[in-house]
Amino acid sequence: MTQTDPSSVSPITPEMAAPDFSLPRDGGGTVTLSALRGKKVVLYFYPKDDTSGCTKQAIAFSEQIEDFAAAGAIIIGVSRDGVSKHDKFIAKHDLKIPLAADEDGSVCESYGVWVEKSMYGKKYMGIERSTFLIDTEGMVKQVWRKVKVPGHVEKVLQAVRDL
């Protein structure tokens, strides 16, 4: 994958059409955003399977999946991990949400979540934990960037209910 200059990626903002994608998902299937028209979609990007914050976030979404479904929404998690890693992550933590594999990073780039990060003074490219709420017509309605896990799922659920 070519590394795009993060400043050249136009950020996805509310009232924009959500970029369509078709990605392999856990269990061997495929998830295509345009095929989900008519449903509200919570699309969340996370850095890596089976790390502390990502595990807490996936478990929190899984615990609330029935509430999201009652509000007419489905949840899709996306990282650059492969399908086999997603399958192991789901089995290990009994996750209830589909996880899509964006191994080449093209979807991360189209949503502007592939960014330069810094840890212990070292700069590197990685996924910025972000969530996008997409309405039944495929339009982005709300964007959360630089997500902190505690309380996030509850905020997203409220936004889904308010939509």
Active-site residues: which are they? 54
User: How would you class 151 by CB atoms within 10 Å of its CB: exposed for 0-12, middle for 13-18, buried for 19 or more?
Assistant: exposed
Asked if 43 and 18 count as a contact pair (C-beta separation under 8 A), the reply is yes
Rg (C-alpha) for the chain, rounded Å, is 15
Q: Measured between alpha carbons, how far is 45 from 72 in angstroms, rounded to an integer?
A: 20
Asked if 146 and 118 count as a contact pair (C-beta separation under 8 A), the reply is no
Which residue reads 């212990």 in tokens? Answer: 120
Q: Measured between alpha carbons, how far is 82 from 71 in angstroms, rounded to an integer?
A: 30
